[in-house]
Amino acid sequence: LALYNEHSFSEGGFLAPMALSALPADKQPGACIGCRSCEAVCPQQIKISEAMADFAQKVQS
């Protein structure tokens, strides 16, 4: 989520895509299956699955 925030607030900066390129495919935002199990335990009640879907779309563009 920190990379998502950086990418969103810097209007498509280069840090998030560069950091994501170092991650294996199963750890990329697009690997989220939307099961929402992480949202059930998130103390801030963030809609993580929606953020990951949005992030995946933004970094592919």
pLDDT at 40: 95
Note whether 48 and 38 are within 8 A (CB). yes
| DSSP secondary structure, 9-54, as one string | HTTS-SHHHHHHHTS-GGGSGGG-----HHHHH-TT---HHHHHHH
pLDDT, tens digit (0-9, with 9 covering 90-100), for 3-61: 988 888 888 778 888 899 999 999 999 999 999 999 999 999 999 999 999 999 988 86
Count the domains in the chain.
1
Q: What is the pLDDT of residue 13?
A: 76
Q: Which domain holds residue 8?
A: 2-60
pTM: 0.82
pLDDT at residue number 29:
94
